[in-house]
Amino acid sequence: MSEVIALGQPTVGEAELAAIAEVFASGWLAGSGPTCRRFEERFAATVGTRHALATSNCGSALHLALLTLGVKPGDEVIVGDYTFPATGHSVMWTGAKPVFADVRPDTWTVDPAAVEAAVTPRTVGIIAVDAFGQPADYDELRAIADKHGLFLVEDAACSAGATYKGRPAGSLADVATFSFHGRKGITAGEGGAYVTDRDDLAAHARKLHTYGVEGALTRAELSHLPIPTFTELGYNYRLSDISAAIMLAQLDRLPDLLAAKRRTAARYGELLKDHELITTPYEAPDREHPWQSYVVTLDPSVDRGAVALELRQRGVQCTFGTYASHVQPLYGQTTPCPVSADLFARHLAIPMHANLTDDQVETVAAALVDVVNTAATSR
């Protein structure tokens, strides 16, 4: 095996190194400094919101979203079921209960009908998850939220650069949260962002993410010596200025990264479209998919585990899609989400990142077809 084709891979280089060197020279490496402020201003402009707050990761941003929206113990929050458990965990961190709603079989985003059916007198809000970056049905979800007096949060962990009916991901709900983990479309290795149009929510989130007081940069700009008073429990959810510098360079790269992954997704679609045991992912016509991952659905007759093992032996990295949250023992949910459970059992993520060459894409597709055919005939 001469080459391993990575499942995901960041696109980083001299621009990021130069940005880090600039932060080193400035002397401000800690969180919520001047570089974070510049990144927040640019990121808010990119996603079309008035405010952005850089955070340590998307989970912390989700926690802040729920805290600033007033979630408390005993409340229920409806969550799209097909998601990494950080979404459900964030609800539990507030003492509230996540109630998982099934997803659409085509976009894999939360089904508005399932959301409507899950509303109870204890429901206070909805978290929609943009599955692998493709936005959910926000017009329908907003109508349900408004009907019942609920908040709406967009878990946009994978969605940088996506659009819904011409509007950028991040601008589609009361609050949206992003991830800058190493497998995401733009990355600092770790990190996240909380974005909103509401001044009150943004101010509260900024306070909570710095232990419940104003940040050092804000205090340094005052004409007197402020002594912070702690009146509310806060957290250390700040992003370092080093990471923010990397993110500024990544924002410069975003258009090219998106274009490269869209070309790869299109090529995968061409190479795999006629295989009866492999279903390629669907992109809704009113959305632009950022292709954070490329996930195929295998026929039930195919042994996914055997396929994954053989692909890895051939140097093609792969993994399952994401989680059917409702089957995780932690949550104790008994209401079935059959679509999500089926996707959880049959999805396979294959290499997707902006550094893939045409030859690598063709190698991956050919290996997948060959392995699936072998797995099917051996059963």
> Which residues are part of the catalytic machinery?
184
Residue 278, token pair as written in the block: 């492999």
Q: How many CB atoms lie within 10 A of CB 83?
A: 27
Which part of the chain has CATH 3.40.640.10? 14-250
CA-CA distance, 158 to 156, in Å (whole number)? 5
Tell me the pLDDT band of 86, cut-offs 50, 70 and 90: very high
Q: How confident is the model at residue 180 (pLDDT cuts 50, 70, 90)?
A: very high
pLDDT grade, residue 219 (50/70/90)? low
| Strand residues in 40-198 grouped as ranges (E) | 51-55, 76-80, 97-101, 123-129, 151-155, 163-164, 167-168, 175-179, 192-196
Nearest in space to 36 (alpha carbons), one of 216, 189, 182: 216
* pLDDT score of 209 more than 90: yes
Cα 262 to Cα 255, 289, 294, 322: the distances in Å are 11, 8, 10, 21
Tell me the residue type at 233.
L
pLDDT per residue over 354-376, tens digit each? 999 999 999 999 999 999 998 87
pLDDT tens for 110-131 read 999 999 999 999 999 999 999 9
Read off the pLDDT of residues 10-32 as tens digits, 9 standing for 90 and up: 999 999 999 999 999 999 999 98
Q: pLDDT-based confidence at 226, cuts 50/70/90?
A: confident
Taking only Cα atoms into account, the Rg of the chain, rounded to an integer number of angstroms, comes to: 21
Q: Decide which of 3.40.50.261, 3.30.450.20, 3.40.1360.10, 3.40.640.10 is the CATH code for 14-250.
A: 3.40.640.10
Residue ranges matching CATH 3.90.1150.10 in the chain: 254-377
Q: What is the mean pLDDT of residues 325-353?
A: 97
96-110, 205-219, 250-264, 318-332: least confident range:
205-219
Question: Domain 254-377: which CATH class?
Answer: alpha beta
In this structure, the strands spanning 175-179 and 192-196 are antiparallel
